[in-house]
Amino acid sequence: MTDLYRFDFGVDEAEEGYTKITLNDRYSPSRTYGFVRADKISALNRGEGGTLRRDFIIPYEASFIVDVPDGIYTVTALLGDEHAATETTIKTGEGRLVVHKLRTGSGQYVRTSFSVWVTGGRLALVFGGLAPRLNALEISHTPQTCTIFLAGDSTVTEQPTDGYPYAGWGQMLPLFVKADAAVANYALSGRSSKSFIGEGHLDAIWSRIKPYDYLLVQFGHNDQKFDEARHTEPFTTYQETLMRYIHGARERNAFPVLLTPVHRRFYEDDGTLRDTHGDYATAVRELAGREGVPLVDLAAKSKELFERLGPEGTRSIFMQLAPGEFMNFPEGVNDNTHFQEHGAIQVAGLVKEGLQQLGLQPLMLYLR
């Protein structure tokens, strides 16, 4: 197993210790690294700028893939251009946002680092932005890096890239996390605290979590549903089920954190937000207080944000899409539960804020 990968992008000779990546280096299983979806990429050599900076690839809407064993990897990207201003966005896997509209001025270069939880044996970096540049990448295996595990529903999960701009807040949380920690998002659409366990997803977390990792738990939307597989009652079976997450984390010397469910977009006539979760949010607060579990009151935080923005302002938070606004939804969408990417970033920011306010050590040191 290789613990360190170094790639130099562009058209010039490779820097010592680096593998050169040119426009022609396309991914294949036998090659194990290279570009896919790369029909729009180009390369330039400025002839100046020093080591790793003279040449680069412009990876517009391209993915760079490296086959690696499952685990945690810290990625450092060198971005910049000797002659032009740049703006680069980087996502990993299914749209996890790790670098958002990072800008450099002409002649300015930035090294930005982030950690990635890799499953399926493939590290995929997806590049975008108005003027992306990619000079170099260093990818190192860092198995001891702290991991923030997420258990939750569709408001948290990673929505597929062909559903853009549909996104869960957990998909955007890596943007707010330094390279000292990785986010492992196990949340899944349609799950309740009960069905997440019944389908074996919590066992998957238990098989991978290590001491001093964190487990963030947000359910409630689907615990309200009345089918047998998902339904729980707030002050009995809901709390009892959440206790399995709490005890399981503590038994493994990891740290549980509870979150009240994020609000939906429904308003009363006076402009206040309608509480569609009722006792489920109250039950989480009560349980956290009784068991001494840190609590991010995302219900309270989202209520304040959504009431401040109002019915019109929250259209850009939720999947309130006009016909033709996004190519993946040509007929438009009228959804008051799920977020578009802009909104998921805002809600992930609320989660980050809540975690910082808890003052948990060392977690607060890992947050941007």
Q: Could you say which of 154, 192, 193, 195 is catalytic?
A: 154
Coil, strand or helix: which one is 335?
A: strand
Q: What is the dihedral of CA 48, 51, 57, 58, to 10 degrees?
A: -70
**CA-to-CA distance for 169 and 221, rounded, in angstroms?**
14
Q: What is the dihedral of CA 24, 25, 31, 36, to 10 degrees?
A: -100
Instruction: State the DSSP code for 37.
Output: S
Residue 26: HSE in the Cβ half-sphere, 13 Å Cα cutoff? 7
**CA-to-CA distance for 368 and 174, rounded, in angstroms?**
10
What's the one-letter identity of residue 42? S
> How many residues are present in the chain?
368
Active site residue 61: no
Distances, alpha carbon 283 to alpha carbons 98, 219, 234, 279, 301, in Å: 33, 11, 6, 6, 17
- Write out the two tokens for 245: 């997450």
Active site residue 331: yes
Among the listed residues 347, 341, 367, the one whose alpha carbon sits nearest the alpha carbon of residue 95: 341
Active site residue 82: no
**CA-to-CA distance for 326 and 313, rounded, in angstroms?**
18
Residues 7, 68: contact at Cβ < 8 Å? no
Catalytic (active-site) positions = 154, 331, 338
